[in-house]
Chain A
Amino acid sequence: MRFSPVRFLRRSAATSALLTLPLLLGGWLSGPQSTFDVKGPVARTQLDVFYVTVWVTLLIFVLVAAVLAYATIKFRARGPIDKNTPVPDQGHGNPFVELGLIGASIAALVVIAVPTLKAIWYTYDVPEEQRANAYEVTARGLQWWFQFEYPAEQIDGSGQLVTGNELVIPAGRPVRINLRTSDVIHAFWVPKLGGKVDMMPNRGNHLWLQADEPGYFWGQCAEYCGESHAVMRFRVIALGKEDFAAWVENQKKPARTVTPPADAPKAAFASYDMTPKKRNAPGYTAEFDANPMAAWTAFQFPEKDEEPALVAQGRALFKEKNCITCHSVRGHEGIGVNAPDLTHFGSRTTVAAGLLENSKPNLHRWIVDPNNVKPGNKMYMGVNGMAGYMEMDPATKTMTGKVHIAVNDTEARAIVEYLHSLK
């Protein structure tokens, strides 16, 4: 095999991982968004280039630092100095030393430049020979959530398949993602799969990535985009060929309708803790993190303790509370386009743009007091001239401070039950 400096450095990096081992053990480089725990060719190429820069600069650092430390110690003045102490040689420099060092620096930079240039072209777009095999999706950033559109999956009479905040992709296959925004600049970043690219207004950006194996990945908006930028998150779920096909098939179906049995009992209260949570209260659990793929799979099936009567009540409230003006539930009443499509909301593992796990208490918390979860969010503030939970003066498009929609605990329980039924 031909000698490749990148491969050599990668291998030396792997073997000398001992250096970073304490940090990996301490969890400093092994989080769900680690750029070291790469799961695809794009992220791997970027990490390779990073390793080249690390080794080259580390070598220079060691050399210069050694000389600097030696000079500082060796030429330290012995005893106090005053104006009568004999002065050292007043040398002004040495052109040969200077030129030699400039030459050496340029040589070191060439070592970095070559793999950099190769990687720039490789990471820019799906390689020519794989282009026919690439799967195309569109990711759209909005304050403060992501919409994912599947131009390859057309639904009769409803256009392309649209989901929100969880991007499901086929594993082992390049995915070309068109990046769009509907308001300000956002950036699409799934560190384990690849570096970020911005979603620029009036500009059609794209990136490509590939997940080697099925898996569940954390992503986050990486460009400051306003008040709730910190909580604008999303997930990427890579599925094997059959699983992906099955997922697409289910997503293309209209929303699931639960028919209450004729002898429906009076809606009973679902039992979960609904004590108001503190602002920024965590919405994740260790059980979920232990096996997120298993959790995701579980979300694809109707819940066993589903209460059909409560679902029906929730569906009515969903309409009554005007949720339908912004949200779509294909096959049910929702027709809005300003907010995430909720047709298969129950099959998503998170709510509020990847912020909270989609558990009933978390969804309840989000519906009852959205501004507490995500300050400034458009469901609360209103968007595109439409009022949200707060009233908006249509003339000035400013908030009047009055409440427009209020959801109490009982109502929220029903809406939660309805949304969770949308598998």
Chain B
Amino acid sequence: MATATLKSAAYTAPDAAKPSARPWFFTRPAAKTGLVSWLTTVDHKKIGLLYAVTALFFFLVGGVEALMIRVQLAVPNNTFISHQLYNELFTMHATTMIFLAVMPLSAAFFNYMMPLQIGARDVAFPRLNGFAFWVFLVGAIVLNVGWFTRAGAPDVGWFGYAPLTSTAYSNQFAGDSSTDLWIMGLQILGVSSVIGSLNFIVTIINMRAPGLTMMRLPVFTWMTLFTAFLIILSFPAITIALVELMMDRSFGTGFFEVAKGGMPILWQHLFWIFGHPEVYILILPAMGIISEILPTFSRKPLFGYPIVVFSGAVIGFLGFGVWSHHMFTTGLGTMATAAFSLATMAIAVPTGVKIFNWVGTLWGGQISTRTPMMFALGFIWMFMMGGFSGVMHSAAPADAQQQDSYFVVAHFHYVLIGGSIFALLAGIHFWFPLVFGRIVSEFWGKLSFWIIFIGFNVTFFPMHFLGLNGMPRRTAVYDGNMGWNSANLTATIGAFILAIGIGIYFTVIVYTYLKGKKATGDVWDARTLEWSVPTTPPPEHNFHITPTVHARDAYWYEKTHAKEIAAEKEKHAQEEESHGGIHMPSQSWFPIITATGMLIGGLFFAHHHFLGAIAGGCVMLIGIIGWAFEGPGGYHLHIAKDGTVTGGEGQDTH
């Protein structure tokens, strides 16, 4: 070891710069705890937690919105809330759940788990990663700020079909800025998603540990990659559509204005060529999580790994060719309807393949039904049902009756709650011991699972019948003579059971975080690299020694080949130290400053105060300039043989 220390000293000494030589505003913050550490963080794990906490907050907000909707619909001719408020609630419930809950919660897992799964120390662009989060938060604020204004929250539906979004149809009582806020909020969220995705793509392509070939990637990482590609390819469509709509509303252009010869149908094509891949953006991460949990709790590799990966790619690819199945009733004509009908059926094949492979994974395994596994099994059942009602929609003539009815509401809640949310809740339980070093109580975990499972089905199963019995979506009130009373009341009761389940789930999570049973290390006898971290929670640099990957389930291989791996690690430790130690990125104030500029600019622009918008743009520009000129930063950490870490910000710079 003596030579290694000597080498590292020899390497770092000449570069040791004096931090005081830099102007104060270019000094990189060094706080590792406290508020500043969170505001300036570039650590993918802290950013992941920021995403998770924000997403869970908005998940609860969206849940309260859903409960208000269900209370209004509990009985016919109800007067609990007004039509206007109802319209705002269903618009914001969807927008919140999609963009502010499920997507960022997936992003939380991408951020936290993906670098660990590929044996990296951080993402490729750490400051950009922080920026993506702050921009997301800005978008969330802009979307929701309407609740506190006279114009109210957006009320055009999460799909914002033109020409209802036109100024001509906005609320005549108030200078209606709610649609402008919706446009601006989604646009800003798009920036966040695209930035985050580019970061993940570059990270996965470039920063895999030695030996981690693409066909050895954990399935969750594969799904991260596919999701990221879906985001960067689909968001430009909605970006263009939103820019055009913004032009229509702010500067009097006529892209979607009927009176000016605009084409409202164009909006639907642009929206759904984004909107359909978006569906897979919501479900692929969930499939990734499930594909990690099932093998772990079956103690057996994923059945048909290459097919699962390939089917993920096929889903992503076909996902761009089925958007018009959201538009079967818009008068596409026979040929287009037939083509999109068949393409939609085709997408059932790779989806079915995944289910077959998950069942195959269970087959012959040693299944332990711990809480994460319960959610994962629940996922398979519920997702299967959502998938089958999806096949029913793919038959366009049947869809003519189902489109915009409660049947569709039942379908996508089966895929989005029974699918995405179940998987994300499974993921939280699964990785909780890794992230917090504490484990959730089996009893309370399973109790919350069963209440959520029952509540979910009681809420959404009757909606199939409501839809088939002719109840349209997005209706604030219905008459008592339509045969919808008992199914609606059942659904509302179910919604409260579901809410109780979610309440227990979160109470238990918070309790466990504060006072739960300590659990360290590889609690589940897991298979992938994130569990090979030296401590739980993982240290900022993730791995003392960059792992080398020899097989698909890399950590399982490490555990079964302990001796040879130990020797290899010893060698790598020396090599790494001889290269100057572990290189870590420096924290920065500029991501949050730049994002603040977007907040100011976005809010002013949405209210058509263009001077204010320019002021916001200036703040943003200052942030970007500072970002560009503060220098690359970075510092080194050194790991002693006993695991003690030395070095840090300001102690040794590049």
Alpha-carbon gap, A97 to B364, bound state (A): 15
Stretch of B36-44, B50-58, B278-286, B463-471 that contacts chain A: B463-471
* Cβ-defined contact, A71 with B363, below 8 A: yes
Interface: B206 (CB within 8 A):
no
| 17 A-B contact pairs sorted by A residue (CB < 8 Å) | A33-B471, A50-B401, A57-B392, A77-B368, A87-B300, A94-B303, A102-B353, A119-B397, A191-B401, A198-B330, A202-B265, A203-B331, A224-B404, A227-B155, A229-B476, A284-B481, A289-B481
* Cβ-defined contact, B329 with A50, below 8 A: no
* Cβ-defined contact, B299 with A120, below 8 A: no
Alpha-carbon gap, A85 to B299, bound state (A): 10
What residues of chain A lie closer than 8 Å to B258, measured between beta carbons?
201-202
Q: B601 → chain A, closest Cβ, in Å?
A: 27
Q: A181 → chain B, closest Cβ, in Å?
A: 9
* Cβ-defined contact, B472 with A88, below 8 A: no
* Cβ-defined contact, A53 with B482, below 8 A: no
From 87 to 102 in chain A, residues with beta carbon under 8 angstroms from any chain B beta carbon are: 87-95, 97-98, 101-102
Partner of A92, one of B157, B301, B348, B403: B301
Q: How many residues of B contact A (CB 8 A)?
A: 106
What residues of chain B lie closer than 8 Å to A98, measured between beta carbons?
304, 307, 353, 356-357
Q: A122 → chain B, closest Cβ, in Å?
A: 8
Q: B119 → chain A, closest Cβ, in Å?
A: 22
* Cβ-defined contact, A189 with B472, below 8 A: yes
Known: A90-B301, A93-B303, A202-B258. A224 touches B465 (CB 8 A): no
Alpha-carbon gap, A57 to B83, bound state (A): 37
Q: A27 → chain B, closest Cβ, in Å?
A: 4
Partner of B465, one of A29, A49, A113: A29
Q: How many residues of A contact B (CB 8 A)?
A: 115
* Cβ-defined contact, A77 with B367, below 8 A: yes
What residues of chain A lie closer than 8 Å to B155, measured between beta carbons?
227
Query: Nearest 5 pairs between A and B by C-beta?
Result: A195-B400, A33-B470, A31-B483, A93-B304, A230-B475
Interface: B87 (CB within 8 A):
yes
Interface: B341 (CB within 8 A):
yes
What residues of chain A lie closer than 8 Å to B480, measured between beta carbons?
282, 284
Interface: A123 (CB within 8 A):
yes
Interface: B78 (CB within 8 A):
yes
Partner of A202, one of B79, B161, B261, B365: B261
* Cβ-defined contact, B470 with A32, below 8 A: yes
- Chain A residue nearest in CB terms to B76: A282
Alpha-carbon gap, A35 to B403, bound state (A): 12
What residues of chain B lie closer than 8 Å to A343, measured between beta carbons?
none
Alpha-carbon gap, A109 to B344, bound state (A): 10
- Chain B residue nearest in CB terms to A189: B472
Interface: B479 (CB within 8 A):
yes
- Chain A residue nearest in CB terms to B355: A64
Alpha-carbon gap, A60 to B173, bound state (A): 54
Interface: B250 (CB within 8 A):
no
Alpha-carbon gap, A65 to B355, bound state (A): 10
* Cβ-defined contact, B366 with A68, below 8 A: no
Partner of B331, one of A123, A205, A281: A205
Interface: B30 (CB within 8 A):
no
* Cβ-defined contact, A26 with B395, below 8 A: no
Alpha-carbon gap, A392 to B172, bound state (A): 9
Alpha-carbon gap, A17 to B363, bound state (A): 36
- Chain A residue nearest in CB terms to B485: A27
Interface: A398 (CB within 8 A):
yes
* Cβ-defined contact, A196 with B400, below 8 A: yes
Told that A109-B346, A227-B87 touch, could you supply 9 new A-B pairs with CB distance under 8 A? A85-B299, A120-B341, A124-B334, A187-B404, A191-B401, A195-B403, A224-B87, A227-B84, A230-B474
From 442 to 494 in chain B, residues with beta carbon under 8 angstroms from any chain A beta carbon are: 462, 465-466, 468-484, 486-487
Known: A68-B362, A202-B261. A34 touches B79 (CB 8 A): no
What residues of chain A lie closer than 8 Å to B615, measured between beta carbons?
none
* Cβ-defined contact, A83 with B525, below 8 A: yes
| Interface 1/0 per residue, A99-131 and B, CB below 8 Å | 001100110010011011101111110000000
Known: A52-B395, A222-B472. A184 touches B483 (CB 8 A): no
What residues of chain B lie closer than 8 Å to A49, measured between beta carbons?
395, 397-398
Partner of A60, one of B388, B395, B398: B388
Partner of A30, one of B261, B471, B483: B483
Q: B259 → chain A, closest Cβ, in Å?
A: 9
Partner of A81, one of B333, B384, B470, B525: B525
* Cβ-defined contact, B384 with A65, below 8 A: yes
Q: B43 → chain A, closest Cβ, in Å?
A: 30
What residues of chain A lie closer than 8 Å to B530, measured between beta carbons?
none
Known: A93-B303, A375-B82. A123 touches B397 (CB 8 A): yes
Q: A282 → chain B, closest Cβ, in Å?
A: 5
